[in-house]
């Protein structure tokens, strides 16, 4: 009841000040107990308003201590959750797909595991060419090329697979150089899914039936 009476009094005063600025201040008679309650409420409200808002945005985890190896998987084997093949085959003719296992260190500053962290960065072959099919000219590191299933809280060893492309005239994976490698967690679990072969190359065999699906909607 005390709180209701106080709030009612305050509301009336505020309303009158906005509507009739010249109206004399309205007298509100409150007991000492009610005054103490009012003071506490005002301090609490001010404290809440002064608290900085929590930043809502992607969380970036730099990847360090990187090592890699050729998994030895053949075309058709599952690599990074999909059958091993060159992404956008018609756009990447003359290239050989290699399933690469990457190990690195990542620090998750949160108290909970981060799921499905998107991996971005540059990967160069021994000849200086891009080993990532959807970023052949190194224009940007904005192209996601892999996914880390889970990153526990704190500093951890993580690993992920991705499909590297090398000239089909070369049988060995050779030396790879990783630059600006990072994993990004998006708010609410939102993330960028890897591009499909059809999205990378509209003439790909993977696009068979996609047009019919679109037309039928």
Residue-number span of the structural domain to which 37 is assigned: 2-50
Amino acid 142: pLDDT: 62
* 156 and 76 housed in the same domain: yes
Which of 97, 102, 100, 91 has the alpha carbon at shortest distance from 76? 97
Kindly state whether residues 33 and 64 are assigned to the same domain: no
- 3-class secondary structure, 5: helix
Which two structure tokens, joined as six digits, stand for 163? 């499909």
pLDDT for 38: 45
18 plus 64 within the same structural domain: no
Residue 42 lies in a domain: yes
- CA dist 10 → 2, 22, 34, 49, 118 (Å): 12, 17, 12, 19, 51
Domain count, the chain: 2
- 0.85 surpassed by pTM: no
Cα atoms in the Cβ-side hemisphere of radius 13 Å centred on 73: 22
Same domain, 63 and 136: yes
Residue 200 falls inside a structural domain: no
Answer whether residue 213 is part of any domain: no
Q: What is the pLDDT of residue 138?
A: 80
d(CA 11, CA 139): 59
Predicted pLDDT at 159: 96
**Within this chain, do residues 40 and 78 fall inside the same structural domain, yes or no?**
no
Q: Which two tokens stand for residue 81?
A: 């959750």
38 & 95 share domain: no
Please check whether residues 7 and 77 belong to one and the same domain.
no
Output phi, psi for 45, to 5 deg: -65, -45
For residue 108, is it within any domain? yes
Q: Is there a domain that residue 153 lies in?
A: yes
Residues 101 and 131 in one domain: yes
Asked, for residue 211, whether it belongs to a domain, the answer is no
23 and 82 fall within a common domain? no
User: What's the pLDDT at 216?
Assistant: 37
Q: In the prediction, which pLDDT does 153 show?
A: 95
The mean pLDDT values, 10 residues at a time, for the chain of 217 residues are 47 45 45 52 46 61 96 93 76 80 96 92 90 80 84 96 88 90 78 50 50 37
Note whether 145 and 162 are within 8 A (CB).
Answer: yes
Convert 58-92 to b/e letters by CB count within 10 Å (16 or more is b). ebebebeeeebeeeebeeeeebbeeebbbbbbebb
Looking at the fold, whether 122 and 150 belong to one and the same domain comes out as: yes
70 and 146 inside one domain: yes
In the numeric block, the tokens 């999205």 are attached to 199
**pLDDT the model gives residue 53:** 41
196 in a structural domain? no
């Amino acid at each position: 009841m005390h709180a209701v009476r106080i709030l009612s009094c305050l509301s009336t005063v505020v309303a009158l000040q906005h509507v009739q600025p010249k109206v004399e201040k309205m007298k509100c008679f409150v007991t000492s107990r009610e005054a103490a309650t009012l003071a506490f409420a005002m301090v609490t409200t001010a404290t809440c308003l002064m608290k900085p808002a929590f930043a809502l945005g992607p969380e970036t985890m730099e990847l360090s201590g990187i090592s890699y190896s050729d998994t030895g998987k053949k075309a058709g084997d599952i690599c990074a959750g999909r059958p091993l093949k060159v992404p956008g085959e018609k756009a990447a003719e003359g290239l050989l797909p290699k399933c690469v296992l990457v190990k690195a260190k990542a620090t998750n500053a949160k108290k909970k595991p981060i799921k499905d962290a998107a991996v971005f960065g540059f990967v160069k072959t021994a000849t200086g060419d891009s080993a990532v099919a959807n970023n052949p000219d190194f224009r940007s590191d904005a192209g996601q090329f892999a996914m880390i299933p889970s990153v526990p809280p704190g500093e951890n060893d993580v690993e992920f697979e991705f499909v590297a492309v090398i000239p089909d005239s070369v049988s060995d994976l050779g030396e790879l150089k990783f630059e600006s490698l990072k994993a990004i967690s998006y708010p609410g679990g939102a993330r960028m899914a890897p591009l499909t072969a059809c999205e990378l190359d509209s003439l790909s065999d993977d696009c068979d039936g996609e047009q019919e699906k679109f037309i039928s909607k």
